Amino acid sequence: MFNKDQQTIPVSKDHVEFLKKIKLTKIAIKTSQLSLFIFIFLFWEIAAINKWIDPFIMSQPTRIIKTIINLSKDGTLYLHTGVTIYETIVGFLSGTILGTLIAIILWWSDFTAKVLDPYLVVLNALPKTALGPIILVWIGGTTQSIIVMALLVSIVVTILNVYTGFIACDEDKIKLLKTFGATKFQILKKVILPANISNIISVLKINVGLSLVGVIVGEFLVSKSGLGYLIIYGGQVFKMDLVMTSVIILSAVAALLYLAVHWLERKIGNIK
Amino acid sequence: MKKIVEISNINLNYHTLQGETQAIKDLSLDIYNGEFISIVGPSGCGKSTLLSLISGILKPSSGTITINGNQVDGPSENVGYMLQKDHLFEWRTIMKNVVIGLEVKNKLNKSTLEFVERLLNEYGLGDFKDFHPHQLSGGMRQRAALIRTLATNPDILLLDEPFSALDYQTRLAISEEIWLIIKKEKKTAILVTHDISEAIAMADRVVVLTKRPGEIKSIHEIILTCNYKTPIKCREAPEFRVYFNEIWKELDIHV
């Protein structure tokens, strides 16, 4: 119950061995992860130098580094990366907020939820990227249409996941509040929402990845900037160095956004 | 003694696609101020349903329930409900948990907060009010749940198998504690339980219900010869075994 009581036990030799073993395994995993990373890039570089692969088509790590330096000199690197990050964050925040609001409406009115159920199922199954050209025509080749794309990709999953979490809430907790005479709004505010915070955060985690898909597809279709634009442009003019560089920066962006949500999750977990 | 709850001729029917089920049939019962009533009966006989009806979150199909002479229509001010599990909210501290009823009723003010503080201090949770529920033992959590129920100062407590989620030893200790608190705060209590010994040990009267549809089969006035009437002491009384056997036979359990 209280950790204070457990610390007074003297540490035995066995326990020290046990802790050491766990620590060693941890170090071994980290070292292997790093070695694998170095190995892949080293092998890629050696293969390109020895002409086992054609660096014009496959690119190579030193060329990528060179490209990154060149791009950052004239600032285009920051511009394109910034645009993609901005579109992704706006897209996934609005997707999550709007999706949660719709989930609240569905929870509020069981009738609405039942009426909309088949539509949500179909929309969920539909690959949202197929709507790209429609959005392009309706909204135009602007940043807005890319954000809408990101929003569309994430919103249906948000609605379904959050709504499922809402209705899975313990009936007895709701009954408890009802015995105090709680209104539906009070039940929402005091039980449903706080009980679902961690659920919503895990939806946020899924949405970061999904919104990035939406943004890149959007940029493929319409834009004049962003990492998606760099990738498609590089492909068209056959600059594979540019394509590979953009993909690698994109993976870094994806990882960073994911880590940011993960950090948020832990922060909120601590408050709880 | 003054009547506090009057249940007269209530019926309750459940409707499902498969048909209609009669859960409670023509049930009448008067409960007096300060009394401790236990309700026992076979599984599914409508014991918990009866509590939901008294608390006003369910409406009877026919018949009336009055509390202090006023007909029950929707969740009543005078009734506090205690459920099987403590249902303390993990995201709230103990203090925030026990005031949730006051919050819902919009009655959070200086005097009600003082009252809650007094209850917490008096019943050994004063030092734990800023703790989160997972830091407390099962027994302490159940005590916090009782204080949450007492916080809105109801006259009647409905206890829906409040100890069944606890292990046996804790259960004995906590039922004793909670009984003492209820007596000290001079509340009327209605306890629903599966445990015949618990029912006899805690109650002034034990009501036995029949199989579904629930009707009253018998009512036992519990008179035990023991010096201090508390649930654990009562179990030593010679009459205890007699009541147990009588009620056990009436429950008519076949497995």
pLDDT at residue A270 in the model:
65
* Total structural domains within chain B: 1
* B60-74 pLDDT per residue, tens: 999 999 998 888 888
Residue B62 to residue B255: CA distance in whole angstroms = 33
CATH at B58: 3.40.50.300
A167 and A34 both lie in a single domain? no
In a domain, residue B62? The reply is: yes
In a domain, residue B215? The reply is: yes
- Output the six-digit token pair for A209: 């990845």
Residue of B nearest to A197 (CA): B91
Q: Taking the model in full, what pTM does it have?
A: 0.84
ipTM, two decimals: 0.85
When the pLDDT of each residue in chain A is averaged and rounded to a whole number, the result is 90
Residue B4 to residue B32: CA distance in whole angstroms = 5
- Output the six-digit token pair for A68: 């990154």
B40-49: average pLDDT: 85
In a domain, residue B122? The reply is: no
Which residue in B59, B3, B2 sits closest to B29, CA to CA?
A: B3
In a domain, residue A60? The reply is: no
Q: Is A268 within 8 Å of A94 (Cβ atoms)?
A: no
* A161-219 pLDDT per residue, tens: 999 999 999 999 999 999 898 999 999 999 999 999 888 888 888 888 899 999 999 99
* A25-81 pLDDT per residue, tens: 999 999 999 999 999 999 999 999 999 999 888 899 999 999 999 999 988 899 999
Identify the domain containing residue A100 by its residue range. 65-271
Determine, for residues B75 and A172 on separate chains, whether the beta-carbon distance falls below 8 Å: no
In a domain, residue A29? The reply is: yes
- Output the six-digit token pair for A151: 């929003």
A197 and A124 both lie in a single domain? yes
In a domain, residue B29? The reply is: yes
A44 and A147 both lie in a single domain? no
Determine, for residues B104 and A173 on separate chains, whether the beta-carbon distance falls below 8 Å: no
* Total structural domains within chain A: 2
In a domain, residue B209? The reply is: yes
> Which among A1, A181, A197 has the least Cβ separation from residue B75?
A181
A75 and A30 both lie in a single domain? no
Identify the domain containing residue B64 by its residue range. 1-74+190-255
Classified as helix, coil or strand, B4 is strand
Burial (Cβ within 10 Å: 0-12, 13-18, ≥19) of residue B34: middle
Contacts with B79 from chain A: Cβ below 8 Å: 179
Under the banding of pLDDT at 50, 70 and 90, the label for residue A1 is very low
A18 and A114 both lie in a single domain? no
The alpha carbon of residue A96 is apart from the nearest alpha carbon of chain B, in Å, by 22
Residue of B nearest to A182 (CA): B104
* A103-112 pLDDT per residue, tens: 999 999 999 9
Q: Is B161 within 8 Å of B50 (Cβ atoms)?
A: no
- Using a CB–CB cut-off of 8 Å, the residues of A that contact B are 1-2, 170, 172-173, 175-182, 186, 190-191, 194-195, 197, 272
CATH at A241: 1.10.3720.10
A32 and A133 both lie in a single domain? no
In a domain, residue A58? The reply is: no
> In terms of residues, how long is chain A?
272
In a domain, residue B211? The reply is: yes
- Three-point CA angle A82, A86, A90, nearest 5°: 175
A93 and A44 both lie in a single domain? no
A102 and A216 both lie in a single domain? yes
In a domain, residue A131? The reply is: yes
Domain boundary among A30, A53, A76: A53
* Dihedral, A111, A116, A118, A119 alpha carbons, nearest 10: 170
Contact B100/A at CB under 8 A:
yes
- Output the six-digit token pair for A212: 């990035």
Determine, for residues A175 and B57 on separate chains, whether the beta-carbon distance falls below 8 Å: yes
| Side-chain-side CA neighbours of residue B105 (13 Å) | 25
* A91-138 pLDDT per residue, tens: 989 999 999 999 999 999 999 999 999 999 999 999 988 988 899 889
A48 and A101 both lie in a single domain? no
Which residue in B17, B39, B12 sits closest to B208, CA to CA?
A: B39
A178 and A246 both lie in a single domain? yes
A103 and A238 both lie in a single domain? yes
Determine, for residues B101 and A180 on separate chains, whether the beta-carbon distance falls below 8 Å: yes
Contact B133/A at CB under 8 A:
no
| Side-chain-side CA neighbours of residue B240 (13 Å) | 20
CA distances from A167 to A95, A110, A170, A171 (A): 20, 10, 8, 9
Tally Cβ neighbours within 10 Å of residue B18. 6
Question: Where do the H-state alpha helices sit in chain B?
Answer: 47-55, 94-98, 100-104, 110-122, 138-151, 168-184, 196-202, 231-234, 239-251
Contact B127/A at CB under 8 A:
no
